Amino acid sequence: MMPLTMMAVGTAASVKKVGGREETKRFLENLGFVQGAVVSVVSEMGGNVIVNVKDSRVAISRAMANKIIISM
């Protein structure tokens, strides 16, 4: 279990929990960040990440990526 920001580029993991503000949490869930969804990191820039989830790419800032908990 670790935050999404710790993932190395190119690796995949599954989502355990999404934290953070209610609104953002809902938005991320709607985008497919639900429990068990497989995510992989495409690119990383100063903590901001581009993540592959359910065949789409989502850019997430560091603060938010820190609140997505994943397990390898």
Verify binding: residue 3, other proteins, rule CB under 8 A. no
12 binds other proteins (CB under 8 A): no
Q: Distance (Å, rounded) from C-alpha 17 to C-alpha 31?
A: 14
How near is the Cβ of 13 to other proteins at its closest, in Å? 16
11 binds other proteins (CB under 8 A): no
Start-to-end CA distance of the chain, whole Å, equals 7
* C-alpha dihedral (27, 68, 40, 7), degrees to nearest 10: 150
CA 48 – CA 15 distance, rounded (Å):
17
CB of 72 to other proteins, least distance (A): 19
Q: Check residue 8 for interaction with other proteins (CB under 8 A).
A: no
Binding mask 40-69 for other proteins (x = CB under 8 A): --xxxxxxx-x-xxxxxxxxxx-xx-----
